[in-house]
Amino acid sequence: MENDRLIELLEKHHQGVLTRVESDELARLYGEAGHDNGQLLNEDDEDVQKYIETRYITLLAIARKKKFFKIWKVTTTAAAVFIIAFLAGKVFYHANKNVTAQNKIVSGHNGAVLTLADGSKVILDSMGNGMVMQQQNVQVINTNGTLTYHTKSATAKQVVYNTLSTPRARQYKIVLPDGTKVWLNAESTIRYPTAFTGNDREVELTGEAYFEVVHNAAQPFKVKVGNNMVEDVGTIFDINAYADEPAIKTTLIEGAAKMNNKLLRPGEQAVANKSGHIQVNHVDAEQVIAWQKGMFAFDNTGLDAIMRQISRWYDVDVSYENGLTKEGFYGTISRYSSIQDILNMLELTGLVHFKIMGNEIIVQN
């Protein structure tokens, strides 16, 4: 029916693959749907682009109520609730007296605390580019949100450890002495030696990090996560090990890796529960690492898990009234969207409402 065709054309426009004939058809259907002047669909006009995105969201929300909602090749019913993919975090204005722009809650940004071997701390948020310091034969350079360790020689007098921590609403990138790149998500900590001199290269992690490891079979790279050990076998992987999450998850993006000697292949995720049992699942790796690319991505994600992500990235507290909906949410939105935009998007499902009181978000069914 025409409602399905309209949604199909909107999806194609969103993906940038709409033909001229389809563009004319989309304009006609817009007009028939009564959404202002469908002839305004000039894809080169920035104001019209915003108009299209807003109408796209509105029409999909309407379609959901009619149970015709189709996106990502999935047919929705009331049991499958979708948040709409939102282009580059542009604003959707949805009237809600409880979620207003007056609240001073902002998204996260680059920032971290570097703790040196002697316990002294360096706040990197306000530090400009340049050398942070030199420790023995290692120079530490800070450049545009990246902390890089340069080793002058292959030997070190003694093993010295540093710790990089991101508070809530902060993220940071570090290049370790071996060239391995690590992106730290909000509320995360990595402890590492300033030079890798032993038989392996071991670091410790809490929170979440994305690793691009420089492989060296003669000196394996290992990540200690609580009582678990992840070992690189030529790898890009993500580890989610927040204390408030029900399990530790290691997701392999490229190459191979081991978690407690369980070998992972790309697209597999090892889930270690509190008792140490490990289960390997196939997952959408791109959805798992969306945060590293500046996005929130939900795939049948529970509201409690979504709110934990929001709490860390926006540095807010979350409380609940009347329990939680058990429905799963799907969709993507920029991590740099305002908190109002994200909460409004969630409210479009009709299953949840929010109230902001200072630095607290109250979730209401």
Q: Return the pLDDT at 79.
A: 31
User: Residues of CATH 2.60.120.1440 domain(s) within the chain?
Assistant: 109-288
Who wins on pLDDT, 147 or 30?
A: 147
* Residue range 81-103, pLDDT digits in tens: 333 333 333 333 333 445 554 45
Binned at pLDDT 50, 70 and 90, residue 13 comes out as low
pLDDT, average across residues 311-340? 91
Binned at pLDDT 50, 70 and 90, residue 56 comes out as very low
Has domain 109-288 been given CATH number 3.20.20.70?
Answer: no
Take residue 314 and report the two structure tokens written for it: 């926006």
Range of lowest pLDDT (16-30, 53-67, 247-261): 53-67
CA distance 188 to 312: 10
Question: What percent of the chain has pLDDT above 70?
Answer: 73
* Class of residue 178 by CB neighbours under 10 A (exposed 0-12, middle 13-18, buried 19+): middle
Take residue 24 and report the two structure tokens written for it: 């004319």
Binned at pLDDT 50, 70 and 90, residue 113 comes out as very high
Q: What is the DSSP letter of 85?
A: P
183 Cβ contact list (under 8 Å, min separation 6): 171, 172, 173, 209, 210, 292
Q: Return the pLDDT at 99.
A: 57
3-class DSSP state of 285: helix
CA distance 16 to 276: 45
Judged against a pLDDT cut of 80, whether residue 48 lies above it is answered with no
155-169, 191-205, 324-338: which is most confident:
191-205
CA distance 268 to 50: 37
CA distance 167 to 309: 13
What backbone phi and psi angles, to 5 degrees, belong to 296? -90, 135
Tell me the average pLDDT of the chain: 80
Q: Return the pLDDT at 86.
A: 35
Q: What is the DSSP letter of 284?
A: -
* Residue range 233-280, pLDDT digits in tens: 888 999 999 999 999 999 999 999 999 999 999 999 999 998 889 999
CA distance 183 to 177: 15
